[in-house]
Amino acid sequence: RHRDLISHSTSSCRMASLKRVAEAAGKHVPWGGLGAGTYTSSTKGCFDVIARTQPLVKSALARALAARESAGVANAAPFAIADFGTADAGTSLPLMRAIVASVREAEPEAPVVVHYEDQALNDWQSVFQLTSGALPSPSVPTYMDGSIGNVYVLASGASFYERCFAPGSIDLAFCATAMHWLTDVPCGVPDALHSACSADAAAREAFAAQAAADWEAILLQRAAELKPGGQLVVANFATDGEGQYLGTSRRVAQAMHPTFSELWLEVAGEEVHRATNFPNEYRSLEACTAPFAADSAVTAAGLRLESAECDLVECPFLNEWRAGEVADAADHAKRFVPTTRTWSNSTFVSGALACGRSPAEAAALADEMFARYEARVAADPDNHAMDYVHSYLHMSRA
């Protein structure tokens, strides 16, 4: 569900508006090929993150159903669900199945339409294979198995920085682990690959400003798409009050992003390392809630913040290792590392391409970097993990 944009060393912050927002070119080709459900097979932790949203989604769904009842359209007009930044749709399938079942129980006659959004180069083959139940592995139960009737699947290859669905058309919108991706990097990060690791004040300030403008743009687009009384639940990658963020937590001694940086410098050299930056920001909870001030554009657009909290979801691979469910350290590393690569591979490749390496050379550098990371994890499996730190937000449309 992570959205990789090509790395650039310079850019400028863009103001939010309902007009089309310019984005960096070069959306990634999903790592691992198309049509095999690789993202779902590799990113077990996303199932846990999405499960963590269930209480918020349950509350949001109740509000959306009540709004339809008040509007006099319950059990008649289609109930529209949107899943933004869906990747291959597998990790959200259990949640979508629960939502569809709940809507069908509340409104037996209403059509239910599940809209999936991701970039045009997304692994759409896997989206349709997984939602239809055609992939034998990974095996994820789907709402399209014939047990629930009058349900439809649609897809949009538009960016979530744009209007993806018709104005006033969505009852319940959802997004997990995607909206931390920025339209572009505002500047190079001189001492790290990711802004969260940087001690450079100017770079951190530039990324925070870009992230603020981009977040406002995203919220304005979602406000336009939601029906009156429509609901939005988002799990955003975050930095918490203790300085924990994706792959950096108190549970392990080794932090993922600094390890990436060290190994990438060894493998690719200083020039490529300098050209490689993750175009995303792990916003604080305060940054996520800032657009909801009384006099803000988001508030004027009718979007209201219902709740906001920050929480850590533990890396399932580390937990399985520590529980003895995987006995061999090399096997553990081979199982774990792909969950870090599904979303990061393109950033490394694009950094190499920006320095004139051929596609084959860039891919080989990334292969070598992740091979070294796998060896590093195998040598010290207790101290490497990808714990997930998120803000969990529930919003509603007036």
- pTM greater than 0.85: yes
For the ranges 30-39, 121-130, 220-229, 347-356, which has the lowest average pLDDT? Answer: 30-39
Predicted confidence (pLDDT) at residue 3 exceeds the cutoff of 80: no
pLDDT digits (tens, 9 = 90+) for 355-378: 999 999 999 999 999 999 999 999
pLDDT digits (tens, 9 = 90+) for 209-264: 999 999 999 999 999 999 999 999 999 999 999 999 999 999 999 999 999 999 99
Contact between 61 and 151 under an 8 Å Cβ cutoff? The reply is no
For the ranges 3-7, 165-169, 332-336, which has the lowest average pLDDT? Answer: 3-7
Q: If DSSP codes are grouped into helix, strand and coil, which group holds residue 245? A: strand
Contact between 143 and 114 under an 8 Å Cβ cutoff? The reply is yes
359's tokens: 């596609």
| Cβ atoms within 10 Å of 243's Cβ, excluding its own | 11
Alpha helices in the chain (DSSP H): 38-42, 44-52, 54-71, 93-106, 124-132, 201-225, 256-268, 270-275, 285-289, 297-300, 316-322, 329-341, 345-354, 359-379
Separation between Cα atoms, residue 398 and residue 388, nearest integer Å: 31
